[in-house]
Amino acid sequence: MAVYTEISEDQLCALLAEYDIGSPLSCKGIAEGVENSNYMLGTETGTYFLTLYERRVKREELPYFLGLMDHLAHKGLPCPTPIQGRDGQALREVAGRPCAIISFLNGVSPKRLTPKHCFEVGAATARLHLAGRDFAGQRPNALSIDGWLPLIQACGSRASDVRAGLEHELAREYDSLRATWPDLPGRVGDRPLPHGVIHADLFPDNVLFIGEALSGLIDFYFACNDYYAYDLAVLLNSWCFETDGAFNVTKSRALISGYESVRPLTDGEVHSLPLFARGSALRFLLTRLYDWLNQVPGALVKPKDPMEYWQKLNFHRLVLGASAYGVER
Amino acid sequence: MAVYTEISEDQLCALLAEYDIGSPLSCKGIAEGVENSNYMLGTETGTYFLTLYERRVKREELPYFLGLMDHLAHKGLPCPTPIQGRDGQALREVAGRPCAIISFLNGVSPKRLTPKHCFEVGAATARLHLAGRDFAGQRPNALSIDGWLPLIQACGSRASDVRAGLEHELAREYDSLRATWPDLPGRVGDRPLPHGVIHADLFPDNVLFIGEALSGLIDFYFACNDYYAYDLAVLLNSWCFETDGAFNVTKSRALISGYESVRPLTDGEVHSLPLFARGSALRFLLTRLYDWLNQVPGALVKPKDPMEYWQKLNFHRLVLGASAYGVER
């Protein structure tokens, strides 16, 4: 929930003069997205999304994100398309910030998740993985295992202010994952573990539905190259737990069925799910914990409770195999 | 900047089933408005504004506000029209809150104000005053002089934490205004002072322009019955000071000319401007001071600096007559 940078009407008119999408009719700051300033922009030709990239997004990475959205949208994936200015460039500047105008997608993020939602998001994720296969860009996952130790160190002993003993637990969990994590390009036994472009943050907030039909995948600013099964593990964490912490196997089975209806998982991917579910739970635990410990007084964004992901991590620690997620191999 | 209440897609569908405006296609929380939760709502028939009324707006006053908007819109004023459900009611409930769907107006709030903007808002305010003459509803101005003493008392000695001696200054200013303030229905000499429906909060944030043409007046949730010249004084305070605190007479002259191009001021109204400018400066000083002293930790809204209005109040205290605002009589 955030608008950090305000735009004057002069700045807006000057920006739109670089495009062929008509002059501005309305521009409303949107209370969503925690990394950037987002506006719904109405022009004579329709509705668009204007994003101003704030400090947390690295300017040099924007061509990867915008290029990927463009690539995926042209492959028919329901994701935003960056709009190019008259000079063919989508990445521009306004109010001293890098910015892009992207197409607006209809739909509403689901609040009460059903197995049908889960099936749909599973299928769309597989389509994203397939559509990304011939995308030329490369971006390592900065928030995979190599990014966790710096976060653990940055939280330091203050982690244990949030929960007694947490600092030690995090270090122990990291060591345990480090010992078994497959570095890219990874193998399980003698078989390669499939990898490519992943979304890496496909929470319900970032998926739009009209009724129970999926209408959009948004917010590609964590997209990167990593294991497909890791993306699926992010989904298991963000779509299949109930608010009381219970894991809903009906939902995870629907999610994996949806995925496999488009792209069947290899045996190695199925076997890697418990590991990747632990890893991705630790990833969200760590970023939330860091934000929790580094709240800015007066900030517009309320940090999310890191302990939700501590609970999820502990669920995955006790899992004996992928059958806990409703998939056998 | 605020969305306080979230709506699920089920709640949204159930709400829209009570209307004839089609099913929902999108619903984005808007980062504007400090009193309510606002959503831009896209349906099969167009774009609307969905407002959920939060604690600060009294439910029993909503029929006045919605009835007034309906009245003014039907008189041709560019203001939002409440959309009626199938049963003819515009005031409904969603997510445990009173709510209304209103028409969406194009336009952008001006950031860099020009005399042309000021002329336009002056003229539109006069049109609002004329259009409101046959509106039957009545609502006293809760934030006129009778509302100031309770605010001064609620701030108490903490006012002087913001500025040394402020508590005493506020009491002195209140006493001075109280001694000369015309209670409704007021007279100047033996002539009545015109009064009727006023907007009472027509800051640039609440006015929309496309280019330099005024396209909308919004946010009627402080509208009430009071002196027309008081509304004009609110405009002098919110449109005619530069950010460095200087009063721009070119702008105030344009604003009053715009007003008088539609509805000429009486001599009594012109003479009352310095008093009403002081009074309305005190009104915004007091509400901002109260919000400043009563910040909620973690709130999404940053309170505005009350001292901006302390400066403005002091400008008006030194004014010898309405000629300071560029109007003679």
Same domain flag for B266 and B319: yes
Check which CATH number belongs to the domain holding B17 and give it.
3.30.200.20
Query: Which candidate from A24, A108, A298 shows the least CB-CB separation from B24?
Result: A108
Same domain flag for A166 and A247: yes
Integer Cα distance of A15 and A12 in angstroms: 5
Same domain flag for A97 and A140: no
Which stretches of chain A drop beneath a pLDDT of 50?
1
Query: Which candidate from A10, A40, A211 shows the least CB-CB separation from B40?
Result: A40
Instruction: Give SS3 for A288.
Output: helix
Taking only the tens place, the pLDDT of each residue in B234-284 is 999 999 999 999 999 999 999 999 999 999 999 999 999 999 999 999 999
Taking only the tens place, the pLDDT of each residue in A3-25 is 678 888 889 999 999 999 999 99
B1 lies in some domain:
no
Q: Is B27 on the interface with A (CB under 8 A)?
A: yes
B165 lies in some domain:
yes
Q: Is B8 on the interface with A (CB under 8 A)?
A: yes
Query: Tell me, what amino acid is at A297?
Result: P
- Closest to A316 (Cα-Cα) out of A271, A279, A278, A285: A278
A110 lies in some domain:
no
Which domain range does residue B29 map to? 9-103
Assess whether the previous peptide bond of B185 is cis (omega < 30° from 0). Answer: yes
Average confidence (pLDDT) over B157-169: 95
Q: What is the pLDDT of residue B1?
A: 40
Are residues B106 and A25, on separate chains, in Cβ contact within 8 Å?
A: yes
Q: Is the pLDDT of residue B179 over 90?
A: yes
Assess whether the previous peptide bond of A185 is cis (omega < 30° from 0). Answer: yes
What is the SS3 string spanning B12-78? HHHHHCCCCCCCEEEEEEECCCCCCEEEEEEECCEEEEEEECCCCCCHHHHHHHHHHHHHHHHCCCC
Helix (H) or strand (E) holding A129: helix A115-131
Query: Which candidate from A30, A111, A302 shows the least CB-CB separation from B9?
Result: A111
Q: Is the pLDDT of residue B2 over 90?
A: no
- How close is the nearest chain B Cα to the Cα of A107, in Å? 5
Check which CATH number belongs to the domain holding A175 and give it.
3.90.1200.10
Write the DSSP symbol of residue A43.
Answer: E
Structurally, how many domains does chain A consist of? 2
Same domain flag for B74 and B137: no
Same domain flag for A90 and A203: no
Task: Report residue B81 as tokens.
Answer: 């029209």
A131 lies in some domain:
yes
B3 lies in some domain:
no
Same domain flag for A169 and A94: no
Whether the CB-CB separation of A216 and A79 falls below 8 Å is answered with yes
Same domain flag for B119 and B217: yes
Integer Cα distance of A285 and B308 in angstroms: 43
- How close is the nearest chain B Cα to the Cα of A25, in Å? 5
What's this model's pTM, rounded to 2 decimal places? 0.84
Q: Is the pLDDT of residue B297 over 70?
A: no
- Domain boundary, last residue among A57, A80, A103: A103
B110 lies in some domain:
no
Q: What is the pLDDT of residue B143?
A: 95
Average confidence (pLDDT) over B101-121: 95
Same domain flag for A142 and A86: no
Whether the CB-CB separation of A283 and A144 falls below 8 Å is answered with yes
Give the C-alpha distances (Å, rounded to integers) separating A314 from A27, A160, A171, A289. 44, 17, 14, 16
Same domain flag for A291 and A201: yes
- Domain boundary, last residue among A79, A103, A127: A103
Residues in chain A closer than 8 A to B31 (CB atoms): 1-3, 28-31
Q: Is B12 on the interface with A (CB under 8 A)?
A: yes
B125 lies in some domain:
yes
Strand partners, A208: A216
Taking only the tens place, the pLDDT of each residue in B62-100 is 999 999 999 999 999 999 999 999 999 999 999 999 999
Q: What is the pLDDT of residue A244?
A: 93
Same domain flag for A89 and A119: no
Q: Is B300 on the interface with A (CB under 8 A)?
A: yes
Same domain flag for A56 and A159: no
Are residues B26 and A106, on separate chains, in Cβ contact within 8 Å?
A: yes
Residues in chain A closer than 8 A to B27 (CB atoms): 108
Q: Is the pLDDT of residue B299 over 80?
A: no
- Domain boundary, last residue among A103, A127, A156: A103
Same domain flag for B99 and B132: no
> Please, where are the H alpha helices in chain A?
9-16, 62-74, 115-131, 145-155, 159-162, 166-180, 228-239, 249-260, 267-293, 307-317
Task: Report residue A113 as tokens.
Answer: 């998740």
Write the DSSP symbol of residue A106.
Answer: -
